[in-house]
Amino acid sequence: MLDIQLIRDNKELIKKACLDKQLDPKVVDELLATDLARREKQKQVDELRQQANKQAEVIKTSVNLGQKPTPEQLETGKLIKLKLKEVEPELTKIEEEYKRLMFFIPNPPAEDVPVGKDEAGNVVIQKIGEPKKFDFPAKSHQELMENMGWLDTKRAVKIAGFRAYFLQNEGLLLEQALLRYALRLLVEEGFTPMAVPVMVNPEAMWGTGFLPWGKEDHYQTQDGQYLTGTAEVSLTSYHMGEILNQKDLPIKLCGISPCFRREIGAHGKDTQGIIRVHQFNKIEQVVLTVADEKETRNWHEKIRNLSEKLLQNLGLPYQILLMCTGDMGAGQRKKYDLETWFPAQQKYRETHSASYFNDFQARRLNIRYRASDGTLKYVYTLNNTMAATPRLLAACVENWQTQDGQIQIPEFIRSLM
C-alpha cells in the first residue's frame, strides 16, 4: 500500500507503474475519484457532527438555566441526527471502497529496474562459476534419484496427484542437511531462526501483498485461511500492528517451513522430476529496517550475497538476474533472481529470489517504528530465499553426479546427514 498523498501527487507515475507491471491503470483513476468523494463526504459528516454538538450544547444550556428547550431547538437537533444517520453509512460505504482500491495500487519499480513485458526483459548481470561439463552424458536428477532409491513419484502420484513426490533414504537426509546448513549460515549472520505458521488469516496475505494479485495460486481452507507459499508471509507479519523502536532495527528473521503453491498456469511445464511441485520446504529471510531506501538497497545486496555464499559453498554455478517490471510482483520495488545451472537440462533455473518493498508491506500491516527524533515512521521490508528444496536438492544432485550414477556429496554436507 502506498501513501495516498504520494498517489495524489504522482498520478501519472503510478499509472505508468501499473502499465509496466502489466496491470490495469484504470484503478488509479477509480481510487482518486473515490478518495475525493470520501473527503467530501467526511467534510459533510464532520460539519453535521459539529452542528449536532452545538445544538446539544444550546439545549443543555437552556436546561441548566431552568428553561425548557423550545420546540424549534428540539426539532433542529432531531433533523441534524436524522441527516447524520443518512450520511454516516454513505461515508462508511465509500471508505470501504477506498480501502479496497488502495490494495490494488502497485508499488512503483525502482529507477534502475528494466522495463519489460515478461521474463524476456530480465537482465543477466553476472555469471558465477563455470557450468559443469562432464565427460559422460549428464543424467537428470529424477533418473539419478530414482536409480538410488531416493525418489518415488509414481506412488506419490497415486496417493496425492500430479506433482507429488516421496523423498526417501539419503535423498531425504540430503535435503534436510541442505536446509540445516542454510539455516546455520543465517544464524551465524545474526538472523533469528523461527518455525512459522503455514496456515494464516487473510490479513497476513493481504498485508504482504500476495492478495489481491495471484489469489488463484494459493490453497485456501474451508475456514477461509490460506496455506502460505513462503515463510515471508508469517515472518513479515510477525510485528503486524506494532510500534517498534529505531534502536532495535534492523530486525533480521529467518523462517523454515513447508510451502504450498497451486502452480496455476504451469500446465505442461516441468512435468518431469521435482523442479515444479505443489509442496516444498524453504528457508526464508526477512529484514525490517529504517525508512531509508539507500539503507534498504544495501540490505538487498547483503541478503542476496548470503544466498550466493550458499551456492558457492555448494559448488553450484549460477547467474544473477535483475528482474524486469513485467516479471516482478506488484508490491516489489526491485527484485533479483539467482538461477542455478542444471547440467542435464543445459540451462539455468531459478532457485532464489531477493526483493525489497520500502514501506509497501509495512503500511498494509501497520508496522511502524519510533524514530530517534520521536516521529513515527513505517519500517521498510525485504525478503530473500535462502534455500528452497527439492529444487536446490535437484540442482545439487545433477551437479554432484559421477559417471557411475552416484552423488559425490561434499564432506561438510555429509556430516549433517
136-172 pLDDT per residue, tens: 999 999 999 999 999 999 999 999 998 899 999 999 9
Q: Are residues 146 and 280 in the same domain?
A: yes
346-391 pLDDT per residue, tens: 999 999 999 999 999 999 999 999 999 999 999 999 999 999 999 9
Least confident of 184-188, 213-217, 231-235, 340-344: 213-217
| Within a domain: 262 | yes
Strands 318-322 and 279-289: unpaired
CATH number of the domain within which 214 lies: 3.30.930.10
Asked if 176 and 236 count as a contact pair (C-beta separation under 8 A), the reply is no
The question of whether 276 is a catalytic residue gets the answer yes
The question of whether 364 is a catalytic residue gets the answer no
CA-based radius of gyration for the chain = 27
Last residue of a domain, one of 67, 102, 137: 102
Interhelix angle for 391-399 vs 169-188, to 10°? 110
| Within a domain: 113 | no
Q: In the 8-state DSSP scheme, what is residue 220?
A: B
- 411-414: long-range contacts, CB 8 A cutoff, minimum separation 24: 412/181, 412/313, 413/174, 413/177, 413/178, 413/181, 413/314, 414/177
Kindly give, in sequence order, each residue whose CB lies less than 8 Å from that of residue 381, ignoring residues fewer than 6 positions away: 236, 286, 287, 288, 289, 356, 357, 358, 359, 360, 361, 362, 367
Structural domain harbouring 80: 4-102
Q: Are residues 45 and 176 in the same domain?
A: no
Last residue of a domain, one of 44, 72, 102: 102
Asked if 365 and 107 count as a contact pair (C-beta separation under 8 A), the reply is no
| Within a domain: 264 | yes
Q: What is the C-alpha to C-alpha distance for residues 224 and 334, in angstroms, rounded to an integer?
A: 31
Q: Residue 56's pLDDT is what?
A: 85
Q: Are residues 149 and 87 in the same domain?
A: no
Closest CA to 283 of 210, 356, 383, 209: 383
| Within a domain: 293 | yes
| Residue 233 confidence (pLDDT) above 80 | yes
Catalytic-role residue among 30, 189, 263, 350 = 350
Residue 183: other Cβ atoms inside 10 A: 18
| Residue 271 confidence (pLDDT) above 70 | no
Residue 41: other Cβ atoms inside 10 A: 18
Catalytic-role residue among 140, 307, 353, 355 = 353
Q: Could you tell me the pTM of the whole model?
A: 0.92
User: What's the number of domains the chain is made of?
Assistant: 2
* Ordered alpha helix ranges (H), 103-163: 141-147, 154-160
Q: Are residues 153 and 67 in the same domain?
A: no
Q: Are residues 128 and 70 in the same domain?
A: no
97-149 pLDDT per residue, tens: 999 999 999 999 999 999 999 999 999 999 999 998 899 999 999 999 999 99
Q: Are residues 98 and 142 in the same domain?
A: no
Q: Residue 265's pLDDT is what?
A: 66
Catalytic-role residue among 276, 293, 297, 370 = 276
| Within a domain: 110 | no
Q: What is the C-alpha to C-alpha distance for residues 283 and 180, in angstroms, rounded to an integer?
A: 9
Q: Are residues 182 and 54 in the same domain?
A: no
Work out the burial of residue 182: count CB atoms within 10 Å of its CB; fewer than 13 is exposed, 13-18 middle, 19 or more buried. buried
The question of whether 333 is a catalytic residue gets the answer no
Q: What is the C-alpha to C-alpha distance for residues 59 and 383, in angstroms, rounded to an integer?
A: 59
Catalytic-role residue among 38, 307, 391, 398 = 391
Catalytic-role residue among 261, 333, 349, 363 = 261
Q: Are residues 410 and 276 in the same domain?
A: yes
Q: What is the C-alpha to C-alpha distance for residues 403 and 87, in angstroms, rounded to an integer?
A: 78
Last residue of a domain, one of 71, 102, 133: 102
**Which residues is 377 bridged to in the sheet?**
369
Band (74; pLDDT cuts 50, 70, 90): confident
Asked if 354 and 336 count as a contact pair (C-beta separation under 8 A), the reply is yes
Q: Are residues 206 and 325 in the same domain?
A: yes
Band (268; pLDDT cuts 50, 70, 90): low
| Residue 266 confidence (pLDDT) above 70 | no
| Within a domain: 108 | no
Q: What is the C-alpha to C-alpha distance for residues 330 and 357, in angstroms, rounded to an integer?
A: 10
The question of whether 95 is a catalytic residue gets the answer no
| Within a domain: 114 | no
Q: Are residues 263 and 347 in the same domain?
A: yes
Q: Are residues 264 and 328 in the same domain?
A: yes
Q: What is the C-alpha to C-alpha distance for residues 315 and 145, in angstroms, rounded to an integer?
A: 19
CA torsion 42→43→45→46, rounded to 10°? 110
The question of whether 411 is a catalytic residue gets the answer no
Q: Are residues 75 and 190 in the same domain?
A: no
| Within a domain: 112 | no
